[in-house]
Amino acid sequence: MQKLLIKGNQELSGNILISGSKNATLPILAASILAEKVFLSNVPLVKDIFTMLELLKFIGLKIKVKKKEKKIELKNNNKRINTLAPYKLVKTMRAGVLVLGPLLTKYKKAKVSLPGGCAIGTRPVDLHLFALKKLGAKIKIKDGYIIAQAKNGLIGCKIDFPSISVGATENALLAAFGAKGDTILSNCAIEPEILDLISFLKNLGCKIKILGRKIFISGIVSAEKKIYHNIIFDRIEAGTYLIAGALIGKKIVIKNLDIKTFKKEIEVLRKMGVKINKKKNFLTILRSKKLKNTSVTTKPYPGFPTDLQAQLMVLMTQANGLSSIKENIFENRFMHVPELKRMGAKIEIKNKTAYISGPTKLTGAEVMATDLRASVSLVLAGLIADKRTIINRIYHLDRGYEFLENKLKKCKAIIKRI
Ligand code: UD1
């Protein structure tokens, strides 16, 4: 099994080019079922994307990946379509459940494996099913599969989500695309990745309006035949490197991003005393000698993202005084804490909140990655630790960070995969 080896305490300097967003690409790939020909650019070629492509191939789409150009072409000629998403392709990547909406709305039936729990929580799909049922689908759960049918097609309706979910909003949007009549979704997630999906669906011919957390969709009868779409930047990747720069950057320039969608992260870091220079599509970060403590709660967008919680916690170990992070989205997202504590961090967890005392000198250790964002927080900790850090189970990192070692090496980090 591969490991990462990091020699800590090396100042970072250089440019980092942010990749396309994994979380925007996944629902757009699922949405490609609805089109005839799709040309995507700025696609991050990470493991989760290849898992989704495997699922789409299984369903019957023809796929061409142009690795060097980071482009993917998908064709759905509607021949030999399999409306099944098997367990083996959904269990490792929950976003597989996003094919449910498009299959159901286009082919009137779908059988999709229940994704099951994961390290950060139970992660049910009840809100996805709630929305699809409202649109008229008959759904039963049998042998670990969601079996959904809409013999006469889905019908537009009003759906008021009892709580905010990214995935459920996406599945509802994808299903409403082919429903008869109009759909109004309330209490939606409005993450930039959802707005990217909406811009893809609009390109495909769908009329969609957004008002606060309400989305109005007019179902369409026939989609555009051929569309081009450029994926937005990965704000979580950008935030991760921003924190790396704040921890140990002599001068890091982060390029290929749109700071309009990145305000909360910048606000929190600036409050902690991080020096950030903003330009329209790049940021410059310098290591901050004196970091201030702060309190943060993770929230749906435009709040502080749960996907940056673990990375921010590493920065908090270097701030003066007691900081805290309340994790409000997932019930079990502090798996990195025991590993950070093994490196010397002083962190206590009470209910949903982690209290971090700083500044603490971290020491290199052999640690275990538990999920995607927890893994990258250990990389950040390794970059500032004394001596050598070894990170096990780095396959989690490969699910979502494109060229992580290369990007860091270009900035003079000493990091090696063994
Ligand atoms: C997406 C992101 C993930 C991010 C999360 C929250 C992708 C591929 N993944 O995950 O990186 O951490 O948003 O920003 O985009 N929930 C229910 N019932 C449901 C669905 C969700 O109770 O049917 C709960 C979840 O358990 C969780 C909360 O709602 O506690 C938010 O989950 P959700 O927004 O759906 O996250 P994902 O779409 O799975």
Q: State in Å: Cα 125 to ligand 1 middle.
A: 9
Q: State in Å: Cα 278 to ligand 1 middle.
A: 30
Cβ-in-10-Å burial (0-12, 13-18, 19+) of 158 comes to exposed
Pairing of strands 295-297, 319-326: parallel
Residue 112 · residue 89 · CB < 8 Å: no
- CA–CA gap between residue 376 and residue 109 (Å, rounded): 39
Q: Which of 118, 157, 206, 411 is catalytic?
A: 118
Active site residue 188: no
CA angle 254, 255, 259 (to 5 degrees): 85
Q: Which ligand 1 atom is the nearest neighbour of the CA of 121?
A: 26
Domain range annotation of the chain: 4-18+233-417, 22-230
Q: State in Å: Cα 6 to ligand 1 middle.
A: 31
Q: State in Å: Cα 304 to ligand 1 middle.
A: 14
Residue 303 · residue 330 · CB < 8 Å: no
Q: Is the pLDDT of residue 386 over 90?
A: yes
Please state, in angstroms and as integers, the Cα–Cα distance from residue 177 to each residue in 114, 172, 297, 329, following that order. Answer: 23, 9, 34, 28
* Helix (H), strand (E) counts: the chain: 14, 25
Residues with CB under 6 A from ligand 1: 23, 26, 94-95, 121, 123-128, 165-168, 189, 193, 306-307, 329-330
| Backbone CA torsion sign across 50, 52, 58, 61 | negative
Q: State in Å: Cα 114 to ligand 1 middle.
A: 14
Closest-CA residue, ligand 1 atom 31, reads: 165
pLDDT in tens, 5-61: 999 999 999 999 999 999 999 999 999 999 999 999 999 999 999 999 999 999 999
Whose CA is closest to 61, among 86, 31, 81, 39?
A: 81
Average pLDDT over residues 70-77: 96
Q: Which CATH superfamily is domain 22-230 in?
A: Enolpyruvate transferase domain (3.65.10.10)
pLDDT at 233: 97
Average pLDDT over residues 138-149: 96
Residue 386 · residue 407 · CB < 8 Å: no
pLDDT in tens, 318-375: 999 999 999 999 988 999 999 999 999 999 999 999 999 999 999 999 999 888 889 9
- CA–CA gap between residue 222 and residue 178 (Å, rounded): 8
pLDDT in tens, 116-135: 656 666 678 999 999 999 99
pLDDT in tens, 161-181: 999 999 999 999 999 999 999
Q: Which ligand 1 atom is the nearest neighbour of the CA of 163?
A: 29
pLDDT in tens, 301-327: 999 999 999 999 999 999 999 999 999
- 120: region left, alpha or beta (phi > 0 left; psi from -120 to 50 alpha): alpha
Closest-CA residue, ligand 1 atom 29, reads: 165
pLDDT at 224: 75
Element (H, E) at 415: strand 414-417
Q: State in Å: Cα 123 to ligand 1 middle.
A: 7
Closest-CA residue, ligand 1 atom 3, reads: 307
Give the chain's largest Cα–Cα span. Answer: 64
Task: Give the CATH number of domain 4-18+233-417; options: 2.40.50.180, 3.40.50.2000, 3.65.10.10, 3.30.200.20.
Answer: 3.65.10.10
Q: What is the mean pLDDT of the chain?
A: 94
* Same fold across 4-18+233-417 and 22-230: yes
Residue from 120, 123, 146, 196 whose mutation best tests the ligand 1 pocket (most atoms within 8 A of CB): 123
pLDDT at 117: 56
Distance of CA 52 to the CA centre of its chain: 14
- Show the tokens assigned to 217: 């969709």
Closest-CA residue, ligand 1 atom 24, reads: 123
Q: Which ligand 1 atom is the nearest neighbour of the CA of 95?
A: 8
Residue 96 · residue 115 · CB < 8 Å: yes
